[in-house]
Amino acid sequence: MSTSSQTTNSKLHRILLTGAAGGLGKVLRERLRPFAEILRLSDIAAIAPSEGAHEEVVSCDLSDKAAVHGLVEGCDAIVHLGGVSVERPFEEILEANIKGVFNVYEAARRHGVKRVVFASSNHVIGFHKQSERLDASAQRRPDGYYGLSKSFGEDVAQFYFDRYGIETVSIRIGSSFPEPLNRRMMSTWLSYRDLTSLIEKSIFTPGVKHTIVYGMSANRDVWWDNSAAAHLGFVPQDTSEVFRDKVEAQPPVAPTDPNAIYQGGAFTAQGPFGDQ
């Protein structure tokens, strides 16, 4: 792949976007268009049909190894968003996220893909208190099976770099929605514009090895320090401040509520699932 230029005019031949039917996938379908001649869109769920020669739509279950190998063949980079994105019983997480991320990297190795952007999550470090400030080297404290699967995915990314030279940017996405929905998201919010910019940097910056970056906008009260990912040159343009009045009009959150204590918020109090 051609990663020699950092300009916005950089264009790969084909980028694979997994999770293309999901909330962020739908947003990125349009926004990733300038970065590749062809965007291969994939999901287990239905995706709106291809809108022209610049798009390919491929249905695929990420837990199906042979299908993932076919999916990845011919791609120059992978933006891996597919998987279960909330806390669920382990067996569901195992198939979509754990087998899924392994299948994606194995396929990348087999088919010579050298760059992956992995949608990791703040739930990798969710049991840290909101009073703490973390950088990429902070101890991981996953807040559930979902967070554990993302932590595994980061380890897979590191392994495939160390062993095979496949480079990854793992983006620990905070909360990427049109606007912050609650007080916690005032710290974790990542606008779609900033997400797109971060993915662009993650695709085109040369020599990223395995970089971990927190996906957040330029919010006022942040918990995360991205100095270890400065080489990406990511400069967020948006801030949750513009929504402060609206969010603070909501009823206050009790100090004992996990949403007020932990970086992972309510995820820290989900489950157990295995007692039925």
Ligand X SMILES: NC(=O)c1ccc[n+]([C@@H]2O[C@H](COP(=O)([O-])OP(=O)(O)OC[C@H]3O[C@@H](n4cnc5c(N)ncnc54)[C@H](O)[C@@H]3O)[C@@H](O)[C@H]2O)c1
Helix axes 65-72, 100-111, angle to 10 degrees: 40
Q: Which of 146, 160, 214, 262 is catalytic?
A: 146
* Residue 146 known to be catalytic: yes
Is 11 or 69 the residue whose CB approaches ligand X more closely?
69
Q: List binders of ligand X among 1-20 (CB under 6 A).
A: 19
85 lies in the binding site for ligand X (CB under 6 A): yes
Binding mask 151-180 for ligand X (x = CB under 6 A): ----------------------x-xx----
User: What are the DSSP calls for 183-245, one per residue?
Assistant: TTHHHHB--HHHHHHHHHHHHHSTT-SEEEEEE--S-SS--B--GGGGGG-------GGGGHH
- Helix boundaries (H) for 32-176: 65-72, 90-93, 100-111, 145-164
- Nearest residue relative to ligand X (C-beta): 22
Is residue 21 near ligand X by the rule CB under 6 A?
Answer: yes
Is residue 45 at the binding interface for ligand X, with CB under 6 A as the rule? Answer: yes
- List the interface residues with ligand X, window 91-110 (CB under 6 A): 95-96, 100
Which residue, 12 or 20, is less far from ligand X as judged by CB?
Answer: 20
Q: How far is the CB of 45 from ligand X (least distance, A)?
A: 4
Instruction: Please identify, using beta-carbon distances, which residue of 13 and 193 lies nearer to ligand X.
Output: 193
Rounded to whole angstroms, how far apart are CA atoms 175 and 189? 5
Q: How far is the CB of 102 from ligand X (least distance, A)?
A: 12
- What's the rounded Cα separation, in Å, for the pair 179 and 191? 7
Residue 265 makes contact with ligand X by CB under 6 A? no
| Distance in Å, CB of 4 to ligand X, minimum | 28
| CA 199 to each of CA 144, 187, 188, 224: distance values in angstroms, whole numbers, following the listed order | 26, 20, 17, 18
**CB 2 to ligand X: min, Å:** 26
User: Whole-angstrom Cα distance, residue 28 to residue 16?
Assistant: 12
Catalytic residues: 146
